[in-house]
């Protein structure tokens, strides 16, 4: 590095390296093909496939660690389960698993979270943590991008104005909270593509039905805004499923296909 004058490590060069790299990355994603809100399993899988297909994908995560609800396994026991049907996604993301029943695979929760994050990044997904999506840009009946803020500023209720990222497609992958669809519905007089025109609310636990519905309900809920993963349950009135993750992986994969079709058509 040119900054290491006389072999002395200068702290300011470390800072310069970080600021320059961060600013360049951030500048490049200001106009993204797809912005995925939430770095849980469904968002990471969708992002990984989209980036592999050459799309400019940005994942925004409000917390410090991406990975969403994977890390804690089931009640802190360190495994999650997936159905055999989702095995090909595990294999695509180079995640190890062990068969525990005819149709069920056990996956180390930490291996799954770290593996999805690592593979998504290797494929070119830009993940930014500590950024909360607090609102959307909406005009002419369409979502045009996201309104973002520093998570710490929001946690402290500091009156800090936000910034914006434009995207051809925005994805609510925020899990149970369905933050993005909820915000769109609460702040605007809009009809969502649901039976009631509003988010319908998540139901209690019924794993098999829930897992199928997560994939079925992965779709565009309002022009420019798609839902995947657990937020589909809150938006379309689906059941929860507990620590089985095949539906999340398959939902992310389905979404990537829908978005690739959409992006190819809009070009
Ligand atoms: O909840 P989460 O893991 O989403 P998912 O992909 O997977 C659900 C499963 O983990 C689990 C389950 C399976 O049985 O039921 O719950 O649907 O990850 C959602 C991520 O979104 C982030 C949040 O911190 C989490 O990491 N998030 C939520 N709201 C925002 C956000 C927001 N407004 N801005 C940025 N990130």
Q: 184-222: per-residue pLDDT in tens?
A: 999 999 999 999 999 999 999 999 999 999 999 999 999
CATH superfamily of 16-265: FAD/NAD(P)-binding domain (3.50.50.60)
Cβ atoms of 209 and 240 closer than 8 Å:
no
Residues 6+ apart with CB under 8 A from 35: 57, 58, 59, 60, 145, 146, 165, 167, 169, 170, 171
Strand partners, 137: 145
pLDDT given for residue 266 in this prediction: 87
Using most ligand atoms within 8 A of CB, pick from 229, 244, 254 the residue to mutate for ligand 1.
229
> pTM higher than 0.85 for the full model?
yes
Using most ligand atoms within 8 A of CB, pick from 47, 63, 67, 68 the residue to mutate for ligand 1.
68
- State the average pLDDT for the chain: 97
Q: Is 202's C-beta closer than 6 angstroms to any atom of ligand 1?
A: no
pLDDT in tens, 128-164: 999 999 999 999 999 999 999 999 999 999 999 999 9
d(CA 121, CA 156): 30
Q: Is 230's C-beta closer than 6 angstroms to any atom of ligand 1?
A: yes
DSSP 8-class letter at 77? B
d(CA 113, CA 42): 11
């Amino acid at each position: 590095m040119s900054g290491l004058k006389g072999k002395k490590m200068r702290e300011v060069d470390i800072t310069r390296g970080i600021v320059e790299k961060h600013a360049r990355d951030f500048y490049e994603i200001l106009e993204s093909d797809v912005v995925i809100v939430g770095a849980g399993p469904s968002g990471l899988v969708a992002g990984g496939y989209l980036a592999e297909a050459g799309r400019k994908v940005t994942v925004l995560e409000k917390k410090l660690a991406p990975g969403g609800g994977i890390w804690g396994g089931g009640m802190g026991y360190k495994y999650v389960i997936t159905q055999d049907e989702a095995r090909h996604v595990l294999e695509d993301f180079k995640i190890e698993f062990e068969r525990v029943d005819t149709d069920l695979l056990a996956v180390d929760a930490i291996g799954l979270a770290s593996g999805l994050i690592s593979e998504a990044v290797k494929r070119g997904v830009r993940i930014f943590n500590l950024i909360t999506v607090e609102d959307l840009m909406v005009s002419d009946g369409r979502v045009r991008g996201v309104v973002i803020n520093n998570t710490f500023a929001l946690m402290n209720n500091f009156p800090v104005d936000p910034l914006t990222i434009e995207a051809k497609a925005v994805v609510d992958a925020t899990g149970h909270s369905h933050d993005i669809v909820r915000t769109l519905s609460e702040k605007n007089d809009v009809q969502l593509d649901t039976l009631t025109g509003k988010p319908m609310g998540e139901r209690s636990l019924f794993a098999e039905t829930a897992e199928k519905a997560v994939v079925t309900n992965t779709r565009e809920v309002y022009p420019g805004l798609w839902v995947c993963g657990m937020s589909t349950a809150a938006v379309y009135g689906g059941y929860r499923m507990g620590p089985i993750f095949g539906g999340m992986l398959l939902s992310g994969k389905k979404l990537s296909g829908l978005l690739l079709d959409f992006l190819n058509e809009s070009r």
